[in-house]
Amino acid sequence: MSLLSHCGVQELQNSGIHDITKDEVSTGTTIIAAIYDGGVIIGADSRTTTGAYIANRVTDKLTKVCDNIYCCRSGSAADTQAITDIVAYYMDLTSVQMGEPPLVRAAANVFKNLIYENRHQLTAGVIVAGWDSRFGGQVYSINVSGTIVQQNISIGGSGSSYLYGFMDSQYKDGMSQQECENLVLNAISLAIKRDGSSGGVVRMGVINHTGSIQRKLVLGDQLPKFYDNIYEEKPLISSGGDATMA
């Protein structure tokens, strides 16, 4: 008898019951990158799922490409990790050849080419963010089909569906670092509240002229819950014996 048969895997497959061990490990997620006056803020939740099963509660989805460039990953965990490793290799090579840190747009274009050329085999969506001396803080969004768009603020992952209106109303050009950090933290907290595939802790990073990232971590029990008090119950006003809503 094989080990798989001994563990009951054969019977499970023959019974027609869905086997979660066959599901792809996915970063169903919330990722955000935003430009502030002086650099960029990146942020993400930490939940990784395999189908409906939470495979990892504390995943780091903010992945280093080089000192001044990071990417936020969504889609298949394996695909995004493999692509990021390849881009990081190219950026290290470029840095040695040029004698200076690589441009953010150069890294974003390598991501775009890899995702587009392998779009039928991979499930990978990334946000590339960083700072360079030529163009300052930049954010590039690359979706699973390989389309690249430069934006001041970008959101991605399953939790982004709940954030479009919030981000449109709250983000503005020229925000200070603290204002942008609060916006990113509040947005991810809101997505975690609404999206079943987002959860865990919030990881954030600040990238600016220093050429390196400043990491920040907010635990799940410390996340802001501002959204619980948005709707306040208004008192009933009595008029001529009839109660009407104010």
Tens digits of residue pLDDT in 87-97:
999 999 999 99
**Which of 38, 41, 39, 44 shows the shortest CA–CA distance to 180?**
41
Which tokens go with 209?
A: 């002229």
Banded pLDDT at 7 (limits 50, 70, 90): very low
69-122 residue pLDDT tens: 999 999 888 999 999 999 999 999 999 999 999 999 999 999 999 999 999 999
170-199 residue pLDDT tens: 999 999 999 999 999 999 999 999 888 899
Integer-rounded Cα radius of gyration of the chain: 22
Would you state the pLDDT for residue 176?
95
Q: Go through the chain and tell me how many residues it has.
A: 246
Q: Is 80 assigned a catalytic role?
A: no
Would you state the pLDDT for residue 9?
46
- Order of strands, sheet of 213-218, starting from the edge strand that comes earlier in the sequence: 153-156, 31-36, 39-44, 202-208, 213-218
Name all domains of the chain by residue range, CATH numbers in brackets.
Answer: 22-218 (3.60.20.10)
Q: Tell me how far apart the alpha carbons of residues 30 and 81 are, in angstroms, rounded to a whole number.
A: 17
Among the ranges given (91-95, 123-127, 202-206, 230-234), the one the predictor scored with the smallest mean pLDDT: 230-234
16-26 residue pLDDT tens: 655 555 555 55
Contact present, 109 and 164 (Cβ < 8 Å): no
Q: Tell me how far apart the alpha carbons of residues 41 and 62 are, in angstroms, rounded to a whole number.
A: 11
Would you state the pLDDT for residue 5?
47
Q: How far apart, in Å, are the Cα atoms of 30 and each of 33, 49, 58, 130, 239?
A: 11, 13, 13, 19, 48
Global pTM reads 0.81
Which tokens go with 204?
A: 């954030």
Would you state the pLDDT for residue 110?
97
User: Which DSSP string corresponds to 181-241?
Assistant: HHHHHHHHHHHHHH-TT--S-EEEEEEETTSSEEEEEE-GGGS--GGGGSSPPPPEEEETT
Would you state the pLDDT for residue 241?
47
Mean pLDDT, range 8-21, rounded to an integer:
53
Share of the chain above pLDDT 70, in %: 80
Banded pLDDT at 52 (limits 50, 70, 90): confident
Would you state the pLDDT for residue 230?
52
**Candidates 21, 27, 29, 48; catalytic one:** 29
Residues paired with residue 243 on neighbouring β-strands, in sequence order = 238
Asked whether the predicted pLDDT for residue 208 surpasses 50, the reply is: yes
Asked whether the predicted pLDDT for residue 167 surpasses 70, the reply is: yes
How many helices (H) and strands (E) the chain has is answered by 6, 15
